[in-house]
């Protein structure tokens, strides 16, 4: 992920965001994204009680095709093994792996071609292309996917992406990105635009003294360039540059805080490395009926979320525990699947005994792999963490169209063992496919290699999970976690009465149209591909 003002103002390049994509990050038995060169022994699959490990899985032991050289001439439909071309780089200086050697862009393309043929879920739908066709491997990578549609106008593969390996690992493993520490949301794309702060990261430039951006703060201009009204292409490029900064870049923002009486003010921020706090605002409230309801904001399935989720689970068990839990996933685009497994296992408790959180299904060249509900988690240092068992009969989930992939797997896995999941908000993005992110020559490629089904063997939610109660994420007058905030208020109303409060579906649809059904939000009519960390990500 780049540019930590987490907005997508694209023309055509966009600012990335954490997350579905890309789902972001690993497996039930693995830790953050890594290259195949970093493989470690797998954790044995056990029935519950089982331990959940962050250790990477080993490379596939699939038999290799009988090729022995990397200089074989291209023949359509004939594939040498990917390992023949692995880490032969046009520019070894850009590589991360110590195995990198001098090669050519054709070597890099040959690796992409063979790797895709070996691992892509729909490998037989890729139109074979001469590796010499494209001087940029990332352009060639865009050819290595199906062109089929799941329905007219809707591509079957919506989630093909790549990122520089160093940036990818820094975010997915360490929870670190570059920017200011505020995520923005575009409530209205066309002039007069409405761009607001959705949330901020503690200890970031956005929350520093004298800046103090909060949920609902409107961003009016950057370096004097008008965000609200400008139609100038050059202006949009300047805005994108400011929102996709490098460490040390300084920019001045004109903002207006929430509240009718607030005035415009000017703040200056310098971009730096920002630590993502994937779990925020966890607390327990007591309702008028005397029920104890837990709430937590969960923004990203990065590796650093594991211990934060466990700490939150232990907090919910304190005293009399909680009767219900509201899990706020409205901005969580996904990531490491073992992080979702931790969350779902805590919620399920004993209900997960002997059952699968998910079964990971690959193409016909590799056997599927079950992921059981777990009662413990082993981190990368070998430390074992017992998972708190909340033993909840139901879960409230707050969602938007940005709720994606690994976030949706939490919903699907719990429904697979008949735990009621009550979705509040708007339909999720619809992604049960995932990746084994693989580095080659300094770029980490994520191509669809798997699908995750629940204990009942079901997953098919291409159009996302629809809400039980519709509510728009357009209340920026209240902080996230405030019982008066629209989505949480709706969940608490259902928790108290067992029915949805009256709401306007038309308002919900309108609000979601103004934001983004998937991928980047854009004030330009030509949005670019989502370049954040989406994913249901399973590591080797």
Q: What is the pLDDT of residues 101-124, one digit of tens each?
A: 999 999 999 999 999 999 999 999
- Tell me the mean pLDDT in the region 483-504: 92
Q: Is the pLDDT of residue 398 over 90?
A: yes
Percentage of the residues of the chain whose pLDDT score is greater than 70: 80
Q: Given this model, what pLDDT does residue 296 score?
A: 98
Q: Is the pLDDT of residue 148 over 80?
A: yes
Task: Work out the pLDDT band at 307, boundaries 50, 70, 90.
Answer: very high
Q: Given this model, what pLDDT does residue 53 score?
A: 54
Percentage of the residues of the chain whose pLDDT score is greater than 90: 69
Q: Is the pLDDT of residue 70 over 90?
A: no
Between 69 and 159, the higher pLDDT residue: 159
Q: Is the pLDDT of residue 504 over 50?
A: no
Which of 110-119, 423-432, 514-523 is least confident? 514-523
Q: Given this model, what pLDDT does residue 153 score?
A: 87
Residue with tokens 């493989």: 39
Residue with tokens 């540019």: 3
Q: Please, what is the average pLDDT of the chain? A: 83
- Tell me the mean pLDDT in the region 142-157: 93
Which of 42-51, 265-274, 370-379, 467-476 is least confident? 42-51
The string of DSSP letters for 56-113 reads PPPPP-PPPPS---S-PPP-TT----GGGTTTEES-GGG--STT-EE--HHHHHHHHH
Task: Work out the pLDDT band at 10, boundaries 50, 70, 90.
Answer: very low
- Residue 233 burial (CB < 10 Å; 0-12/13-18/19+)? exposed
Task: Work out the pLDDT band at 367, boundaries 50, 70, 90.
Answer: very high
- Residue 234 burial (CB < 10 Å; 0-12/13-18/19+)? exposed
- CA-closest candidate to residue 454, choices 337, 324, 310: 337
Q: Is the pLDDT of residue 405 over 50?
A: yes
Q: Given this model, what pLDDT does residue 147 score?
A: 96
Which of 8-17, 197-206, 351-360 is least confident? 8-17
Q: Given this model, what pLDDT does residue 236 score?
A: 86
Between helices 337-348 and 406-415, what is the axis angle to 10°? 30
Between 130 and 4, the higher pLDDT residue: 130
SS3 150: strand
Q: Given this model, what pLDDT does residue 51 score?
A: 56
61 alpha carbon, distance to own chain's centre? 29
Q: Given this model, what pLDDT does residue 261 score?
A: 87
Between 67 and 496, the higher pLDDT residue: 496
Task: Work out the pLDDT band at 514, boundaries 50, 70, 90.
Answer: very low
- Contact residues for 71 (Cβ-Cβ < 8 A; gap 6+): none
Which of 428-442, 480-494, 507-521 is least confident? 507-521
SS3 415: helix
Q: Is the pLDDT of residue 69 over 80?
A: no
Task: Work out the pLDDT band at 144, boundaries 50, 70, 90.
Answer: very high
User: What is the C-alpha to C-alpha distance for residues 273 and 178, in angstroms, rounded to an integer?
Assistant: 5
Which tokens is 484 given?
């008066």
Task: Work out the pLDDT band at 456, boundaries 50, 70, 90.
Answer: very high
Task: Work out the pLDDT band at 174, boundaries 50, 70, 90.
Answer: confident
Q: Given this model, what pLDDT does residue 506 score?
A: 35
Peptide bond into 12 cis (omega under 30): yes
Q: Are strands 356-361 and 369-372 parallel, antiparallel or unpaired?
A: antiparallel
């Amino acid at each position: 992920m780049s540019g930590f003002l987490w907005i997508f103002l694209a023309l055509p390049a966009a600012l990335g965001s954490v997350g579905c994509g890309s789902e972001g990050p690993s497996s039930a038995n693995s830790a953050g994204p890594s290259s195949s060169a970093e493989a470690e022994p797998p954790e044995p699959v056990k029935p519950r009680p089982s331990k959940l490990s962050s250790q990477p899985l080993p490379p596939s032991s699939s038999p290799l095709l009988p090729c022995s050289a990397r200089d074989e001439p291209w023949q359509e439909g004939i594939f040498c093994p990917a390992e023949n071309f692995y880490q032969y780089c046009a520019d070894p200086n850009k590589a991360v792996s110590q195995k990198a050697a001098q090669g050519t862009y054709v070597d890099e393309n040959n690796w992409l071609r063979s790797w895709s043929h070996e691992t892509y879920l729909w490998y037989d739908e890729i139109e074979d292309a001469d590796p010499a066709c494209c001087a940029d491997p990332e352009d060639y990578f865009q050819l290595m996917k199906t062109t089929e549609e799941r329905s007219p106008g809707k591509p079957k593969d919506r989630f093909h992406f790549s990122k520089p390996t160093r940036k990818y690992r820094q975010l997915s493993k360490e929870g670190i990105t570059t920017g200011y520490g505020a995520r923005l949301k575009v409530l209205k794309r066309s002039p007069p635009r409405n761009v607001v702060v959705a949330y901020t990261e503690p200890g970031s430039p956005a929350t520093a003294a004298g800046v103090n951006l909060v949920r609902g703060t409107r961003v009016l201009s950057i370096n004097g360039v008008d965000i609200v009204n400008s139609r100038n292409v050059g202006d949009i490029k300047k805005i994108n540059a400011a929102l996709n900064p490098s460490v040390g870049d300084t920019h001045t923002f004109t903002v207006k805080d929430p509240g009718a009486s607030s005035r415009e003010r000017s703040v200056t921020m310098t971009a730096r490395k920002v630590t993502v706090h994937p779990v925020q605002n966890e607390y327990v409230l007591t309702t008028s009926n005397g029920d104890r309801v837990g709430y937590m904001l969960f923004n990203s399935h990065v590796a650093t979320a594991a211990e934060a989720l466990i700490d939150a689970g232990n907090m919910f068990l304190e005293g009399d525990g909680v009767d219900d839990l509201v899990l706020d996933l409205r901005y969580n685009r996904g990531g490491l699947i073992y992080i979702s497994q931790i969350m779902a296992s805590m919620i399920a408790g004993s209900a997960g005994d002997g059952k699968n959180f998910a079964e990971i299904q690959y193409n016909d060249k590799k056997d599927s792999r079950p992921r059981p509900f777990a009662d413990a988690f082993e981190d990368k240092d070998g430390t074992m963490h017992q998972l708190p068992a909340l033993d909840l009969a139901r879960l409230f989930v707050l969602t938007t169209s940005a709720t994606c992939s690994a976030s949706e797997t939490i919903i699907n896995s719990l429904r697979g063992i008949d735990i009621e999941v009550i979705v509040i908000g708007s339909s999720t993005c619809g992604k049960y496919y995932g990746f084994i992110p693989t580095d080659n020559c300094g770029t980490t490629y994520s191509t669809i290699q798997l699908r995750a089904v629940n204990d009942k063997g079901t997953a098919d939610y291409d159009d996302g999970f629809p809400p039980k109660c519709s509510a728009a994420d357009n209340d920026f007058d209240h902080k996230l976690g405030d019982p008066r905030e629209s989505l949480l208020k709706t969940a608490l109303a259902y928790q108290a009465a067992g029915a949805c409060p009256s709401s306007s579906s038309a308002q919900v649809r309108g609000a979601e149209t103004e934001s983004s059904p998937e991928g980047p939000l854009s004030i330009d009519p030509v949005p670019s591909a989502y370049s954040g960390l989406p994913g249901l990500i399973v590591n080797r």
